Structure 1
Amino acid sequence: MRRFSLLRRTMRLLALCSLFAACLASQASAVPVETSAPKGRETGLPVPRFVSLKSANARMRIGPSLDYGTKWIYLKSGLPLEITAEYDNWRQVRDSDGITGWMHRALLSSRRTAVIGPWLREPAALHTGARESAAVSAALMASVLVHVGRCDGAWCSIGLPHQNLTGFVEQSALWGVYPGETITD
C-alpha cells in the first residue's frame, strides 16, 4: 500500500512539473529576452571587460581590501587585465597567465592594451594593412605588449610602446581583445 501511495505522489509531482514547464514556455514568448552583457554592480559597465594597468609596482590582493595580503606585484604599467567582478572600489581581475585577484580601481586604466597570444607557437605577423595579403613589417613574439587602436572584429591596428612601429595584427592573436569585438578610437 505504501509503494502505491509513493508512486501516486511521484506521478502528481511529475504532472505538476510538466504543467509548470508548459506555463513557463507559453510565457517565454511574451517576455523579451535580455541579450546585453551583464553590468558591473558598481560602475554599470560591462563585466567582463578589458582594461590596462595604470602604474608599475601595482599590488594584486587576495581579497577586495587593503586588509588582504598581496598575491602578486606587477612591475610594468600598461599590462592588459580582464575585470571579472566589481566590489566597491575594488575590481577582480585576471591577467594573461590566468592569475586572478583584486586590485583597487585607481590602479586601472580604460586604455586598451593587449599582449600577443601567449599560446602562439609562431610569431604573429604585423601587417601594413588589415588583410592577410598586406606586407609583413615585423614578427611579434608571444607576450609582447602592444597598444590597441581600432578593431573591426577580425583585425586590430596596434602600436608598440617605445618603438616607432605600427600596423595590423589578426585579432585572434591578441589577449586583451575579445573575439569579434569592435573598438573605435
Structure 2
Amino acid sequence: MTSRKIALIAISLAVVGPAAAQSDPKLPYWASISVDEARMRKGPSPDVPVIWEYRRKDLPVKVVARHENWRKIEDPDGTQGWMAARLLSRTRTAIVTGEIRPMREQPDPAAPVAYRAEPGVVGRITECSAGWCRFDVKGRRGWIQTDHIWGN
C-alpha cells in the first residue's frame, strides 16, 4: 500500500469516526478506565502516536465518539483522544473537583457530613438525582453534590 493510500485512510478514519458519532443518540456516555495502565492515542489505531498514558484505574472518562473497537474519550482535564474499547468499563465513577468536598449522610446540604473528599479522589457512583450522587470511595459512602464531581 502506498503512503498516499495510508494517509487517505488515516484522514478518513479521523473524519468518519467523529462525524458518524455526531448522529449516534447513545453518545456521549460515561465510562471509566478498567486497567492499571492505558494509552490514549491521536487516532483509532495502535499505529498512531500515544498522546497520554494513564496509570489510574477507575478514572472517569466521557466517550464522545466510536470507531470499530476504539472510543474517542475526554478525560477530566478536557484532553481528547482515542482508546481501545477493551480498556474501558461502563462502571460509573467520578472525580472530586475544586476543593475538599463534604460527603453527606443524606442528599441534603443540611445533612450531617459522613466524610470529606479531597480534590482528585475517585469514587464509584451508584445513583444520581436532584443534584446529588451516591459516592463510594473504597467503602466510605455518602452523598455528594453533582457540581462537586466530574463524571456524572
Whose strand proportion is higher, 1 or 2?
2
TM-score, scaled to structure 2:
0.81
Please list the CA deviations of residues 74-132 of structure 1 after superposition, one character each: whole Å capped at 9, or x if unmatched: 11110000111111111110100111110011001000000012xx1x31111011111
2:146 to 168, 171, 177: 171
Which protein shows a greater Rg? 1
Partner of 1:69: 49
SS across alignment from 2:120: coil
Candidates 34, 39, 46, aligned match of 1:59 = 39
Query: Cα 1:45–1:106, aligned 2, differ >3 Å: closer, same or farther?
Result: farther
1:45, CA displacement in angstroms?
6.0
- Aligned CA RMSD, in angstroms, stands at 1.8
Q: Secondary structure at the match of 1:143?
A: coil
Query: CA–CA distance in 2 between the matches of 1:52 and 1:101?
Result: 14
TM-score (norm 1): 0.68
Select 1:101's aligned residue among 75, 81, 105: 81
Q: How far does the alpha carbon of each residue in 1:37-66 deviate from its partner, in whole angstroms, 9 at most, with x for none?
A: xx948xx66211110001011111111001
Q: Which runs of 5+ in 2 are unaligned?
A: 1-19
> Higher relative contact order at CA 8 Å, sep ≥6: structure 1 or structure 2?
2
Runs (4+) of structure 1 exceeding 6 A deviation are none
Aligned-pair CA distance for 1:153: 3.4
Percent of residue pairs identical: 30
